Amino acid sequence: MLLTLDHVTVAFGGLVAVSDVSFSVSEHEVLGLVGPNGAGKTTLFNAISGLVRPSKGKMTFCGHDLTGIPIHKRARIGIGRAFQVPQPMHELTVRENLIVAQHFGTGHSNPGKIDEILDLTRLGHKANRDAASSLALTEQKALEVGKALATNPRMLMLDEVLAGLETNGKRAFMQTLDDARQRFGVALLMVEHDIETISNTCQRVLVLNFGKLIADGSPEEVFRNPEVIRSYTGGETA
Amino acid sequence: MMKYLSLIIILAGAYLAVPLQFGGNDYVIGIVVSALTIAGIAVAWAMLGNLGGMISFGHSAFFGVGAYGSALLAMNAGLPVFPSILAGGVIAGVVSILTMPTLRLRGPYFALAMLAFAEIFRILAIEMRWLTNGSGGLLSIPRLPTVFGFDFGSRLGGYFVVLTLVLLTVFVYWLIRNRPEGLALRAMHDSEDATLVVGVNATRLKAAVLVVSAFLTGIMGAFNAHYINFLEPDYAFNGSWTTLAIVAAIFGGYKTLWGPVAGALIVYLVDQFVFKAIMPSGHQLILGGLLAAIVIFSPSGLLPWLASRFRKEAGDAAHP
Amino acid sequence: MFDLVAQSVFSGLLAGAYYALIALGLALVFGTMRIINLAHGELVLLAGYIAYTAESRFGLDPLAALPAAIIIVALTSVIIYLLLTRIRVDREINSLILTFGIAIMLTNGILMIWSADIRSTTSGWYLDSIIIGDTLFAMNTEILFAVIGVLVVGAVWWWLSKSWYGRALRAVSSNRDAAKLMGIDPRTTEILSFAVAGLLASIAGIALYSGKVIEPSLGHSLTIKAFIITVLAGLGSVPGVLIGAVLIGVAESLTATLWSSALQGLVSMLLFLIVLLVMPSGLFGRTRRRG
Ligand SMILES: Nc1ncnc2c1ncn2[C@@H]1O[C@H](COP(=O)(O)OP(=O)(O)O)[C@@H](O)[C@H]1O
Ligand SMILES: [Mg+2]
């Protein structure tokens, strides 16, 4: 198993954002994570990357117990993360963003791989010129994925990277992700609202509602599950 | 290309033109040496400010520790002056480890905690009489030596040494800035989470840049001790070492490589040659005003402002 | 020995109430706007010099200079606020640097106007000492300004917690936008807080002049003392200022008595660093949403 969560709970004061969630991700798997807004998806990612501390439960990644592992060491063991709201390293160029990610995420430098990532994310023409903060939103999202890939992840968490793209953009981006998977052999854990995209790409889907995991299975099963349908129609349309 | 050319011109000017023009005038050279000393502190200070995102009000502590460290080693252990200047820097770097707990403080609290440290070091330098001779100070600190017949102990010799030290400081800064560590440091302030999740250990990098900054500041202090051959706590640990460096760095543009140097030269030379002549007491009033004006009108400093003016003019010329 | 310690604690308490006067203006601005005014000590000093001029030029009692000091110092304080509002980027650090620049200007302005000579009051009454309960000595000025200090702390506390303006100020400091919606003009209340800080600095400056010697370079250390007390007090706590000030006063006084007067400064710096460093980061840190 790559990642295992065992009864993980995250609370902010009285608000339980993630409640008693257990699941696992295996090597090379493509796993969807869906749920209405505020369901706790981003918080779950934060717990895995170490930005918030679970109040209960245990997480293991590649046999490492994550509890004692500080945030900055999680990239080294293979956890990659693309933020929902892109967080480029503003003052740096695209290439510098990738250099930093590679240097600290892997411990060595490999310019060839950086060129490969630039190529893959279609950011090559912007690589050296402007500060990353001047990129368009779609480019920033591509850079999010690029930075994560530069750390040589074994699992990549993608937080709504397709949201806000039109259909063609989505297709192109999915192609990018698929290429990345082919080339680098990473597992994907992706939050996505578009059910069609999820059904087409994911082998397995998790559904989160009010912090609870209410379904875990193949897209066909999950999207037929009445509780899942209720959570979607009762909650936000998204 | 342009960049290298201007660098060569500046270097030639600094090493040849200035000595040829003013070499005989100890008064002018003396003031230029002071300006360069402040430039060195300003670069070291700006390195911490820009790369570490930390504004320190306590760099006089490192200056003073470097000065006393080097002076004492040369006087009591008989270390030759140049190695002892290096050792002074190392001592300042080691001492900065004591201040590391402040790294977890945010902006203003870090600034003022460092100020407190500087004050503590000043008091200690006065109180540890057995080591520093207290307020009595240290007299006849060994001067810079004569090497291959050239007397570095002269005003002009001091000029060459401090000039070289400042250039080395800028070079070290440049090296660090372009390494992945330097990039990560620059990114850290406004993209903290982004750097964390790709594996950047912010605390360790900040600590490292603090040590380097303290080391370089200590070197300037050590040079100064052997240049003026005399130290007392209220001189070596004087807050104005920090103040002038801050004014210089902010004025020139503390996020640029050469801004602090340009700022120190302009601010200090204009202050000494112009303002001081106009109003002998209280001339630093203008420096304070300058600092306030820069923060309000052009917070990124003079060099970035000039660069943007230049770009704009060039743009206007291209599209009339 | 016991008498010595008792006297030392007593002097420390009196000094503490006087320190509270010095710190209160800085703490008020810091508590309501999160701005550290590094020129605060210079404002106090300015008031001290105004008292000096009133006494030496016009033969007035230092206290009689209060109205003039309040007008000039409060005005200067408001000008500082107006300059602060011009800052566009990186407000936290740039406000520090701006007020630092203003502090340099004030120090040198004072130097130009009043020269570098040290000054102190010539009114004998202030420096006369009285004996309380047979054993405890104090100068009249210490008693007077300790009483004023406590009263002023009480008044400011009342003003912030009970009066409409005080509550408006707290509303602005906790949520500027919400306060706007409630019809409170943040600028007005913030100007007021700077003006009040100036008023408090004026009282402190007169206390300073009538009990100690003043010189132009003193402002810096007054600012540091005020900031140390503010940190000890905890964010925005008015009674905390009095407690923090008394703590510093007594600690310094005891250090001087039992150890060495040169180490006084060391003690307050160490106290300050300890409090800063053990302070849970929650007090000064922001909690923000991530991801
Ligand atoms: N730092 C935080 N402090 C307090 N509450 C938070 C914080 N982060 C998220 N929440 C709350 O946790 C819940 C889950 O949010 P989130 O994980 O962002 O949901 P999703 O990504 O599924 O839309 C929401 O109710 C949100 O308001
Ligand atoms: Mg989310």
Angle between helices B202-228 and B26-51 (to 10 degrees): 170
Residue B320 has pLDDT above 50, yes or no: no
Q: Is residue C7 part of a domain?
A: yes
* Residue C276, pLDDT score: 84
Determine the Cα–Cα distance for residues B156 and B163; give it in Å rounded to an integer: 10
Cβ(A208)–Cβ(A184) below 8 Å: no
Q: Is residue B265 part of a domain?
A: no
Give the three-class secondary structure for A198.
helix
For A235, residues 6+ apart whose C-beta sits below 8 A from its C-beta are: A36, A37, A39, A209
Q: Is residue C284 part of a domain?
A: no
Find the mean pLDDT for residues C6-29: 93
Which residue of chain C has the CA closest to A42?
Answer: C291
pLDDT tens for B297-314 read 988 888 888 888 877 766
Find the mean pLDDT for residues B36-62: 94
Beta bridge partners of A159: A191
Site from B106, B110, B112 to mutate, C interface, most C CB atoms within 10 angstroms: B112
ipTM of the complex: 0.89
Beta bridge partners of A169: none
List the domain range (segments joined by +) for residue B222: 28-239
Q: Is residue B68 part of a domain?
A: yes
Task: Pick the residue whose CA is nearest to atom 18 on ligand 1.
Answer: A42
Query: Average model confidence (pLDDT) for chain B?
Result: 91
Nearest to B248 by CA among B274, B266, B225, B228: B266
pLDDT tens for B176-216 read 999 999 999 999 888 889 999 999 998 899 999 999 999 99
Q: Which ligand is nearest to the CA of A159?
A: 2
Q: Is residue C141 part of a domain?
A: yes
Q: Is residue B14 part of a domain?
A: no
Looking at the structure, give the CATH architecture of the domain made up of residues A3-233.
Answer: 3-Layer(aba) Sandwich (3.40)
CB-neighbour burial class of residue B317 (10 A; exposed 0-12, middle 13-18, buried 19+): exposed
Greater pLDDT, B43 or A224: B43
Q: Is residue C285 part of a domain?
A: no
Q: Is residue C6 part of a domain?
A: yes
The DSSP bridge pattern shows strands A187-191 and A155-159 to be parallel
Q: Which amino acid is at C132?
A: I
CATH of the domain at C41: 1.10.3470
Can you say how many angstroms the Cα of residue B150 is from the centroid of all Cα atoms in its chain?
26
Using an 8 Å CB-CB cutoff, list chain C residues near B285: 104-105, 108-109, 112
Work out the pLDDT band at C167, boundaries 50, 70, 90: confident
Cβ(B65)–Cβ(B120) below 8 Å: no
Looking at the complex, does the CB of residue A176 fall below 8 Å from at least one CB of chain C? no
Give the three-class secondary structure for B305.
helix
Q: Is residue B305 part of a domain?
A: no
Using an 8 Å CB-CB cutoff, list chain A residues near B186: 89, 91-92
Task: Pick the residue whose CA is nearest to atom 8 on ligand 1.
Answer: C289
Q: Is residue B184 part of a domain?
A: yes
Q: What is the pTM assigned to this prediction? A: 0.88
Cβ(B304)–Cβ(B255) below 8 Å: yes
Determine the Cα–Cα distance for residues C207 and C210; give it in Å rounded to an integer: 5
Q: Is residue C289 part of a domain?
A: no
Q: Is residue C291 part of a domain?
A: no
> Torsions phi, psi of C227, nearest 5?
-70, -40
pLDDT tens for C225-253 read 999 898 888 766 788 899 999 999 999 99
Q: Where are the alpha helices (DSSP H) in chain B?
A: 2-12, 18-22, 26-51, 59-76, 81-95, 107-127, 129-132, 155-178, 180-188, 192-197, 202-228, 233-236, 239-252, 259-270, 276-278, 284-297, 302-318
Find the mean pLDDT for residues B260-270: 95
Which residue of chain B has the CA closest to A79?
Answer: B197
Work out the pLDDT band at C281, boundaries 50, 70, 90: very low
> Domain total for chain B?
1
**Residue C108 to residue B108, Cβ atoms within 8 A:** no
Q: Give me the residues of C, 7-66, that contact B with CB < 8 A.
A: 36
Q: Is residue C27 part of a domain?
A: yes
pLDDT tens for A109-167 read 999 999 999 998 889 998 888 888 899 988 999 999 999 999 999 999 999 988 878 88
CB-neighbour burial class of residue C141 (10 A; exposed 0-12, middle 13-18, buried 19+): buried
The residue assigned the tokens 């230092």 is: C62
Determine the Cα–Cα distance for residues C264 and C277; give it in Å rounded to an integer: 20
Residue C285 has pLDDT above 70, yes or no: no
**Residue C276 to residue B108, Cβ atoms within 8 A:** no
* Residue C236, pLDDT score: 64
Would you say the CB of residue A43 lies under 6 angstroms from ligand 1? yes
Task: Pick the residue whose CA is nearest to atom 10 on ligand 1.
Answer: A17
* Residue A165, pLDDT score: 80
Would you say the CB of residue A209 lies under 6 angstroms from ligand 1? no
Task: Pick the residue whose CA is nearest to atom 25 on ligand 1.
Answer: A38
> Domain total for chain C?
1
* Residue B167, pLDDT score: 96
* Residue B305, pLDDT score: 84
Task: Please state the domain extents for chain A.
Answer: 3-233
Q: Is residue B41 part of a domain?
A: yes
List the domain range (segments joined by +) for residue C53: 2-278
Separation in Å, CA B256 to CA A24, B202, B312: 48, 21, 19
- Tokens (6 digits) for C188: 């007005």
